[in-house]
Amino acid sequence: MNASLTTPALLPTTPGPEEGYSQVVKVQLKLREMILAGELAAGSRIAELSIVERLGASRTPIRAALMRLEQEGLLAALPNGGYAVRTFSEREVSDAIELRGTIEGLAARLAAERGVAPAVLDEARQCLAQIDVLLQAPAIDDEGFSRYVVLNREFHALLAKLSGSAFMQREIERVSSLPFASPSGFVIVQANTPQARDMLIVAQDQHWQVLDAIGNREGARADAIMREHSRLAQRNLRDAMQAPGKHAVPGVRLIKK
């Protein structure tokens, strides 16, 4: 996380017109980080004044950031005003992952059936080639996993772009922002397991297969591959919930059986 998001002194108390949007984003990112790290406990009420004092920001960007986090689903609005940190059932998280797989499957189908811009397809292939280089190592360290998360997010964004539909891109971005539904939402669970690299190799093979299906104009196959791809995230969710040290995984403490 950039230092500017973690140092209260760098959050000005009186943002000007040009700083307003950036200030809201900074506060939003910091609050999200605090929630997922457990600094703001599941079910706890968010006291606006305490956040003002803690972050050194004014109430205006904090209120806007709290509203955005409610829209993301991390906070719930209370009947008498204010917000509380939400908790999620394992089924809710599973449904969000399945929804992402369904929408990404449709995007892949549209890309295959309508045809794609060769430049974007090449960009997606180059992204996967970089992941291939990472997976050539006999074991993946923390830095490698971090790099994988970045490239994996980039590939899924390019997949949405391949659909040629601005609407599909917005919907995939929206569903991926739901709590724990991002393409790499639970990949960190794999980091310290013996099968870590093997799981990523399976996911990477599915990445290449869906590009192959899109290039060959095989819509049904592309759709099915992305739906199956989301099953890996479902497995990671189950592993996260069953892991003895599950509370070390960011945000998992918000999920209840």
- Helix/strand/coil (H, E, C) string of the chain? CCHHHCCHHHCCCCCCCCCHHHHHHHHHHHHHHHHHCCCCCCCCEECHHHHHHHHCCCHHHHHHHHHHHHHHCCEEECCCCCEEECCEEHHHHHHHHHHHHHHHHHHHHHHHHHCCCHHHHHHHHHHHHHHHHHHCCCCCCHHHHHHHHHHHHHHHHHHHHHCCCHHHHHHHHHHHCCCCCCCCCCHHHHCCCCCHHHHHHHHHHHHHHHHHHHHCCCHHHHHHHHHHHHHHHHHHHHHHHHCCCHHHCCCHHHEEC
Calculate mean pLDDT across residues 132-153: 86
Question: Residue 87 pLDDT more than 60?
Answer: yes
pLDDT of residue 194: 59
The segment with the largest mean pLDDT, out of 33-47, 58-72, 125-139, 195-209, is 125-139
Any long-range contacts for 101-104 (C-beta under 8 Å, 24+ apart)? 101/226, 101/227, 101/229, 101/230, 101/231, 101/233, 102/227, 102/230, 103/168, 103/171, 103/172, 103/175, 104/156, 104/159, 104/160, 104/172, 104/226, 104/229, 104/230
Question: Residue 8 pLDDT more than 60?
Answer: no
Provide the terminal-to-terminal Cα distance of the chain, rounded to the nearest Å: 30
- Of 99, 104, 184, which Cα lies nearest the Cα of 145? 184
Question: Residue 28 pLDDT more than 60?
Answer: yes
194-207 pLDDT, tens digit per residue, is 567 788 899 999 99
Note whether 199 and 238 are within 8 A (CB): no
pTM of the full predicted structure? 0.72
214-227 pLDDT, tens digit per residue, is 999 999 999 999 99
pLDDT of residue 188: 55
pLDDT of residue 149: 84
Question: Residue 115 pLDDT more than 50?
Answer: yes
- CATH number assigned to the domain covering 89-256: 1.20.120.530
State the Rg of the chain over Cα: 20
Q: Tell me the CA distances in angstroms from 51 to 23, 31, 46, 158, 233, one per residue in order.
A: 14, 9, 8, 36, 33
CATH topology of domain 3-86: Arc Repressor Mutant, subunit A (1.10.10)
**How confident is residue 104, by pLDDT bands cut at 50, 70 and 90?**
very high
Q: Return the number of other C-beta atoms located less than 10 Å from residue 245's C-beta.
A: 8
Distance, in Å, from the CA atom of 253 to the CA atom of 241, rounded to the nearest integer, reads 9
What are the structural domain ranges in the chain?
Answer: 3-86, 89-256
